Amino acid sequence: MKRLPELLREIRPEFDFTTSKDFIADGMLDSFDLMTLVATLDKTYGISIQGTDIVPENFKNLETIENLLRQCGVTA
Amino acid sequence: MQINVIEYFENGALRKCPQKLAVKDASRECTFADLERFAKNCAALILKRTQARNRPIPVFLGKGAENIVADMGILYSANAYANLDVKSPPQRLQGMLQNLEPEVIITSAAHAAVLRGLQIPEEKLLLFEEAMVGESFYDNAALLRRIEPVIDTDPYCVIHTSGSTGVPKGVALNHRSTIDFVDWAFDRLGLDGSEVMGSLAPIYFDAYTLEFCMLLAKGSTWMVVPDQLAMFPAKLVEFVASNPINFIFWVPTVMVNIANLDLLAKTRLDRLNKVFFIGEVFPTRHLNYWRRHLPGAMFVNLYGPIEITVACTYYIVDRDLDDDDKLPIGYPCRNTDILILNEQNQLTQVDEPGEICVRGSSLALGYLNNPERTAKGFVQNPLNPHYPELIYRTGDLGYWNSRGEIMFLGRRDFQIKHMGYRIELGEIEHAVLQVDGIRNCCVVYSQARKEITLFYECDRELPPAFIREKLMVTLPKYMLPTVFHRMELMPRNPNGKIDRQKLVASVN
Whether residues B71 and B194 fall in one domain: yes
Give chain B positions within 8 Å (CB) of A48.
none
Give chain B positions within 8 Å (CB) of A14.
469, 472
Taking residues B489-505, report their average pLDDT: 87
The reply to whether B253 falls in a domain is no
Rounded CA gap, B143 and B365, in Å?
Answer: 25
Burial class (CB in 10 A: 0-12, 13-18, 19+), B65: buried
Q: Do A51 and B261 touch (CB under 8 A)?
A: yes
B165 inside 8 A of chain A by CB = no
A72 inside 8 A of chain B by CB = no
Indicate if the pLDDT at residue B448 is higher than 90. no
Strands B125-127 and B105-107: parallel
* Domain boundary residue, one of B171, B189, B224: B224
The least confident of B16-30, B34-48, B388-402, B459-473 is B459-473
The reply to whether B241 falls in a domain is no
B435 inside 8 A of chain A by CB = no
Nearby residues of B102 by Cβ (< 8 Å), 6 or more positions away: B55, B56, B57, B58, B82, B124
**Which of B233, B463, B477 shows the shortest C-beta gap to A32?**
B477
Indicate if the pLDDT at residue A1 is higher than 80. no
Taking residues A29-48, report their average pLDDT: 86
Taking residues A4-32, report their average pLDDT: 84
Whether residues B43 and B192 fall in one domain: yes
Query: Domain limits of chain A?
Result: 4-70
Type of residue at B452: I
Number of domains in chain B: 3
Rounded CA gap, B216 and B39, in Å?
Answer: 12
Local confidence band at A62 (pLDDT 50, 70, 90 cut-offs)? very high
Q: Do B232 and A54 touch (CB under 8 A)?
A: yes
Whether residues B424 and B405 fall in one domain: no
User: Residue B339 phi/psi, 5° resolution?
Assistant: -110, 125
**CATH number of domain containing B133:** 3.40.50.12780
Q: Do A51 and B257 touch (CB under 8 A)?
A: yes
Give domain A4-70's CATH superfamily. Answer: ACP-like (1.10.1200.10)
Give chain A positions within 8 Å (CB) of B234.
51-52, 54-55
Nearby residues of B136 by Cβ (< 8 Å), 6 or more positions away: B37, B40, B41
Type of residue at B210: L
Whether residues B464 and B357 fall in one domain: no
Strands B105-107 and B221-224: unpaired
Whether residues B111 and B218 fall in one domain: yes
B484 inside 8 A of chain A by CB = no
Q: Do B231 and A50 touch (CB under 8 A)?
A: no
Taking residues B193-206, report their average pLDDT: 96
**∠ CA B499-B502-B505, rounded to 5°:** 150
Q: Do B464 and A10 touch (CB under 8 A)?
A: yes
**CATH number of domain containing B376:** 2.30.38.10
Taking residues B446-458, report their average pLDDT: 89
The least confident of B75-84, B225-234, B262-271, B471-480 is B225-234
Range of the domain at B96: 7-224
Please tell me what DSSP assigns to residue A18.
T
Whether residues B431 and B397 fall in one domain: no
Under 8 Å between Cβ of B132 and B29: no
Q: How many residues does chain A have?
A: 76
Strands (E), B412-450: 415-418, 421-424, 440-446
Question: Phi/psi class of residue B451: alpha, beta or left (left: φ > 0; alpha: ψ in -120 to 50)?
Answer: beta
Rounded CA gap, A35 and A55, in Å?
Answer: 12
Whether residues B348 and B426 fall in one domain: no
Say how far residue B119 (Cα) sits from the centre of its chain: 28
Amino acid B496: pLDDT: 78
- B416 Cα to chain A: minimum distance (Å): 17
Amino acid A76: pLDDT: 66
The reply to whether B347 falls in a domain is yes
- B232 Cα to chain A: minimum distance (Å): 6
Rounded CA gap, B218 and B191, in Å?
Answer: 8
A38 inside 8 A of chain B by CB = no
The reply to whether B286 falls in a domain is no
A3 inside 8 A of chain B by CB = no
Amino acid A51: pLDDT: 79
Instruction: For residue range B123-152, list pLDDT tens digits in order.
Output: 999 999 999 999 999 999 999 999 999 999
Rounded CA gap, B425 and B480, in Å?
Answer: 10
* Domain boundary residue, one of B224, B247, B282: B224
User: Residue B156 phi/psi, 5° resolution?
Assistant: -105, -40
Amino acid B164: pLDDT: 86
Amino acid B257: pLDDT: 85
Continuous segment of H or E residues that includes residue B454: strand B451-457
Whether residues B366 and B350 fall in one domain: yes
Indicate if the pLDDT at residue B101 is higher than 80. yes
B426 inside 8 A of chain A by CB = no
Strands B451-457 and B390-400: unpaired
Rounded to 10 deg, the angle between the A31-45 and A62-71 helix axes is 40
Q: What ipTM describes this predicted complex?
A: 0.74
Instruction: For residue range B278-290, list pLDDT tens digits in order.
Output: 999 999 999 999 9
Give chain B positions within 8 Å (CB) of A8.
none
Indicate if the pLDDT at residue B153 is higher than 70. yes
Local confidence band at A2 (pLDDT 50, 70, 90 cut-offs)? low
The least confident of B299-313, B360-374, B427-441 is B427-441
Q: Which residue has the higher pLDDT, B367 or B508?
A: B367
B418 inside 8 A of chain A by CB = no
Residues of B numbered 124-163 whose beta carbons fall under 8 angstroms of chain A's beta carbons: which are they?
Answer: none
For B315-325, give one letter per residue: b (16+ CB within 10 A) or e: bebeeebeeee
Whether residues B392 and B452 fall in one domain: no
Whether residues B28 and B146 fall in one domain: yes
Whether residues B396 and B471 fall in one domain: no
Instruction: For residue range B367-404, list pLDDT tens digits in order.
Output: 999 999 999 999 999 999 999 999 999 999 999 999 99
SS3 content of chain B, % helix, strand, coil (to 5): 35, 25, 40
Indicate if the pLDDT at residue B179 is higher than 90. yes
pTM score, whole prediction: 0.92
**Which of A13, A31, A52 shows the shortest C-beta gap to B465?**
A13
Rounded CA gap, B190 and B276, in Å?
Answer: 12
Rounded CA gap, B80 and B57, in Å?
Answer: 6
**∠ CA B245-B417-B252, rounded to 5°:** 25
Rounded CA gap, B201 and B296, in Å?
Answer: 24
Say how far residue B175 (Cα) sits from the centre of its chain: 17
Give the A:B interface size as CB pairs under 8 Å: 61
The reply to whether B262 falls in a domain is no
Taking residues B256-281, report their average pLDDT: 93
User: Residue B152 phi/psi, 5° resolution?
Assistant: -75, -5
Whether residues B407 and B422 fall in one domain: no
Q: Which residue has the higher pLDDT, B222 or B419?
A: B222
Rounded CA gap, B365 and B371, in Å?
Answer: 11
**Which of A13, A31, A52 shows the shortest C-beta gap to B230?**
A31
Q: Which residue has the higher pLDDT, A27 or B436?
A: B436
* Domain boundary residue, one of B169, B189, B224: B224
Maximum alpha-carbon separation in chain A: 30
Taking residues A44-48, report their average pLDDT: 90
